[in-house]
């Protein structure tokens, strides 16, 4: 093997010895300083888009370094680097022989007196240069340049691959930072539609209870967003980065409730070939969300009560208790107090669960949230329907959505918007398939603390007394955030006993 081939082989082997550019450059320098009169070497990139020179790596007797030092260039300097007249290898025994090099080196390595610049090209793109420098003037001869002549491509390829790797790492770091920001933002009110309007009072309760570990009971009609509120509690808590396990209690057959909730040991029953964690263990360290809690049979309610009291479970077929560090959030659309009277829900479990009850008003009690929810849903459906822009909705159609009673709450609204998008075929959305809409509400006037409906502001079109009473009760519920009994509740504001109000609400179809 000739000396030239040995030299080429040794340098390329050292260049590829590490995925870290600083290490491979240092290895090259250790060899090259024995062959050439150099005190160091570096890699500079030509950033044409930003008109800069960027030093990305440097090596000398002290070691190798990854750098990000940038020097701004004038447009004339960029033109000089782009005009194709600069040779692929350039000897500068006096730095001021080249104006661009003098400008750059006076700021990056001011002690350098002489240089050999090896130009790097990758896919016909001027990538930058490898500089081999000396602190003495007139250090280099033509034979030194001849030795380096064959190294254009190896340096260019290694530099390009390393830059690609650094870019990927930077993108990964950026994604991780964005992910952290997203997680933090999930703790803000913006992730709950209506947080500053129809759900304002609910979200104030969420903000108050989330940092604590107290058990929470969420009550509200089917489809009104109980899971959204449960998730909001979790994401605002210290357990935000731990599991959030949702359990639909009504979907578990009675015979499987124990094994699903608490898990089982190997051999506990036929088919139990290995130990399985139940939902409670899966949520350990985080939050378990027990949706449709009112569907649990009494036998399961007893075992849930023990979990609430001791924060331990026993797997099916096991004897040793398993300790849990867990927060419990429960939800139901059923009237648990009525169920207690009927004997279908345990009173002691009710008191354990209702440490901090949150009542979510139905969508018909927060009609101001409907446009926000519709816009949010349209944005969600854009990708599914391969649309470039949001479909339009005529004002009268939006008014129809706001005046509709929404017995299925947000869940029904989701279905309605999706159905309208399927039927629209690019035209403005129509919601004619909805049932009868409500009569528009009269605008309330406020005088101090008293709400007065002013008949002089109404039209000559009259509605039934029941309809008017229902509207007034609905407005009271809106004002109180859906709260019926207790201080600040609708019953107190309407000066009526809570049981009487509930009875009237049932009669009017509000409950």
The percentage of the chain sitting over the pLDDT mark of 90, rounded to a whole number, equals: 46
Domains defined along the chain, listed by start: 3-168 (3.30.450.40), 189-361 (3.40.50.300), 365-424 (1.10.8.60), 445-507 (no CATH)
pLDDT at res. 444:
42
Q: Please determine, for residue 493, whether its predicted confidence score (pLDDT) is greater than 60.
A: yes
Per the CB < 8 A criterion, the answer to whether 480 and 361 are in contact is: no
pLDDT at res. 439:
43
pLDDT at res. 167:
63
Q: What is the pLDDT of residues 405-414, one digit of tens each?
A: 898 899 889 9
pLDDT at res. 215:
94
Q: What average pLDDT does this structure show over 310-328?
A: 92
The percentage of the chain sitting over the pLDDT mark of 70, rounded to a whole number, equals: 88
Q: Is 436 helix (H, G, I), strand (E, B) or coil?
A: coil
pLDDT at res. 477:
83
Q: What is the pLDDT of residues 243-295, one digit of tens each?
A: 999 999 988 888 889 999 999 998 888 888 888 999 999 999 999 999 999 98
DSSP per-residue letters across 208-256:
HHTTS---EEEE--TTS-HHHHHHHHHHTSTTTTS-EEEEEGGGS-GGG
Q: Which residues pair with residue 47 across a beta bridge?
A: 52
> What is residue 316's DSSP assignment?
B
Q: Please determine, for residue 448, whether its predicted confidence score (pLDDT) is greater than 50.
A: no
Q: Please determine, for residue 108, whether its predicted confidence score (pLDDT) is greater than 90.
A: yes
pTM exceeds cut of 0.75: no
Rounded to a whole number of angstroms, the CA Rg of the chain reads 36
Give the confidence band of 464 by pLDDT, cuts at 50, 70, 90. Answer: low
The CA–CA distances, whole Å, from 502 to 201, 226, 469, 488 equal 21, 21, 13, 16
pLDDT at res. 140:
94
pLDDT at res. 508:
78
Top-confidence residue, 445 or 431: 431
pLDDT at res. 40:
96
pLDDT at res. 165:
64
502: exposed, middle or buried (Cβ count in 10 Å: 0-12, 13-18, 19+): buried
Residue 57 belongs to what H/E stretch? Answer: strand 52-60
Among 73-77, 131-135, 246-250, 440-444, top mean pLDDT goes to 131-135
pLDDT at res. 168:
56
pLDDT at res. 190:
44
Average pLDDT in the chain: 84
Give the confidence band of 169 by pLDDT, cuts at 50, 70, 90. Answer: low
Task: Give me 379's structure tokens.
Answer: 């944005």
Q: What average pLDDT does this structure show over 213-231?
A: 93
Give the confidence band of 447 by pLDDT, cuts at 50, 70, 90. Answer: very low
pLDDT at res. 457:
43
pLDDT at res. 173:
57
Q: Please determine, for residue 109, whether its predicted confidence score (pLDDT) is greater than 80.
A: yes
Q: What average pLDDT does this structure show over 141-147?
A: 93
């Amino acid at each position: 093997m000739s000396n030239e081939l040995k030299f080429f082989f040794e340098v390329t082997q050292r260049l590829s010895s590490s995925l870290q550019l600083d290490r491979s450059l240092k290895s090259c320098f250790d060899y090259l300083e024995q062959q050439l009169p150099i005190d160091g070497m570096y890699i500079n990139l030509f950033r044409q888009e930003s008109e800069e020179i960027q030093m990305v790596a440097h090596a000398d007797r002290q070691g190798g370094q990854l750098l990000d030092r940038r020097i701004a260039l004038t447009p004339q300097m960029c033109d000089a680097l782009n005009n194709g007249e600069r040779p692929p290898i350039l000897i500068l025994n006096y730095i001021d022989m080249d104006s661009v090099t003098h400008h750059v080196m006076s700021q990056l390595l001011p002690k350098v007196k002489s240089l050999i610049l090896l130009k790097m090209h990758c896919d016909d793109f001027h990538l930058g240069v490898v500089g081999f420098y000396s602190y003495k003037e007139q250090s280099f001869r033509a034979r030194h340049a001849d030795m380096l002549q064959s190294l254009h491509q190896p340096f260019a390829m290694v530099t390009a691959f390393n830059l690609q790797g650094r870019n990927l790492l930077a993108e990964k770091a950026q994604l991780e930072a964005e992910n952290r920001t997203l997680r933090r933002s999930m703790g803000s009110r913006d992730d709950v539609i209506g947080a500053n309007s129809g759900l304002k009072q609910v979200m104030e309760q969420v903000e108050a209870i989330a940092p604590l570990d107290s058990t929470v009971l969420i009550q509200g009609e089917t489809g009104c967003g109980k899971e959204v509120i449960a998730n909001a509690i979790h994401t605002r808590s210290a357990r935000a980065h731990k599991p959030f396990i949702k359990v639909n209690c009504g979907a578990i057959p009675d015979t499987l409730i124990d094994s699903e909730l608490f898990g089982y040991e190997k051999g506990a029953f036929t088919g139990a070939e290995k130990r399985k964690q139940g939902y409670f263990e899966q949520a350990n360290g985080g939050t378990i969300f027990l949706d449709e809690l009112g569907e649990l049979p009494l036998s399961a309610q007893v075992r849930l009560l023990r979990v609430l009291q001791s924060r331990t479970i026993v797997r099916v077929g096991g004897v040793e208790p398993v300790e849990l560090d867990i927060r419990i959030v429960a939800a139901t659309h059923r009237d648990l107090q009525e169920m207690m009277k009927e004997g279908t829900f345990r009173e002691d479990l009710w008191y354990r669960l209702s440490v901090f009850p949150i009542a979510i008003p139905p969508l018909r009690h927060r009609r101001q949230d409907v446009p926000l929810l519709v816009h949010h849903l349209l944005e969600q459906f854009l990708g599914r329907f391969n649309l470039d822009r949001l479909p339009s909705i005529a004002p009268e159609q939006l008014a129809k959505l706001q005046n509709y009673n929404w017995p299925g709450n947000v869940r029904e609204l989701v279905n309605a918007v999706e159905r309208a998008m399927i039927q629209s075929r690019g035209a403005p959305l129509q919601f004619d398939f909805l049932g009868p809409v409500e009569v528009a509400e009269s605008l309330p006037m406020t005088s101090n603390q008293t709400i007065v409906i002013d008949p002089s502001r109404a039209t000559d079109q009259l509605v039934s007394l029941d309809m008017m009473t229902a509207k007034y009760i609905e407005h009271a519920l809106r004002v109180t955030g859906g709260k019926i009994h207790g201080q600040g509740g609708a019953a107190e504001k309407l000066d009526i006993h809570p049981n009487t109000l509930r009875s009237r609400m049932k009669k009017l179809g509000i409950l």
